[in-house]
Amino acid sequence: MIRFHDVSKIYHIGGEEVHALDHASMHISPGEFVSIIGPSGSGKSTMMNIIGCLDVADSGEYLLDGLPIEQYSERELTRVRNRKIGFIFQNFNLIQRMTAEENVELPLIYQGVRTAQRRQRVREALERVGLSKRGHHRPTELSGGQQQRVAIARALVTEPSLFLADEPTGNLDSRTGNEIMELFHELHERGNTLVLITHDEKVAQQACRRIRIFDGRVEEVDG
């Protein structure tokens, strides 16, 4: 599903070159649950942005479902992001003026899904994350863990082939973080592909495979 071959990304900061990714190569197969682990500044966010089609590499090749992303137009990249990838962020990225139901419904509106089908899929998504009774609440009326569950429902409502989670437990206490990880395991058991970006070894170890990144260089983690 995901293949990096010799991917590099360089930023120019204050007259210096920063190699966010330095000839990185890795692959992730359909149905895998993989964590990408590294400290702050290691290149994790850059890798996530490229995997999620939010950015493009300076050199090398990124294949998503066998197709080279660099050949996609911006319109095609937007379509890929909306239909193939379910994003889950550390800060939840919910729209504060909208209810949980409305936040989950939003990507379906972008896809042009009809109203009746949208509402059914929103109900099912919130039920899957255990929030069927909180759909009319706004983010400020929900705990951090509940907000992250809404974010997960928003990601899964489009039935993406890939879930891309960036530090999804970073703003949660340990108990709530464990509950969110249980949700990820359930998604994986249903056959979904999950890529989890984290700096936390304990979180990373829950994935079936770990990829470590440091100073833009990528290596597999044994054991």
CB-CB contact of 223 with 210 (8 Å): no
Separation of alpha carbons 206 and 221, rounded Å? 13
pLDDT in tens, 170-206: 889 999 999 999 999 999 999 999 999 999 999 999 9
Q: What is the per-residue pLDDT for 222?
A: 58
pLDDT in tens, 11-59: 988 888 889 999 999 999 999 999 999 988 899 989 999 999 999 899 9
- Domains of the chain plus CATH, in order, are 30-56+78-221 (3.40.50.300)
| Six token digits for residue 166 | 């960036």
Q: What is the radius of gyration, based on Cα positions, of the chain?
A: 17
| pLDDT grade for 132, boundaries at 50, 70 and 90 | very high
Measured in whole angstroms, how far is the alpha carbon of residue 129 from the centre of its chain?
16
CB-CB contact of 88 with 151 (8 Å): yes
44-79 burial string, b = 16+ CB within 10 Å, else e?
bbbbbbbbbbebebeebebebeeeebeebeeeebee
Q: Which residue has the tokens 């998604």?
A: 187
Separation of alpha carbons 223 and 217, rounded Å? 19
| Six token digits for residue 177 | 């973080």
Contacts of 126-131 with C-beta under 8 Å, sequence gap 24+, read 126/100, 126/101, 126/150, 126/153, 128/153, 128/156, 129/153, 129/156, 129/183, 131/100
pTM (whole model) above 0.85: yes
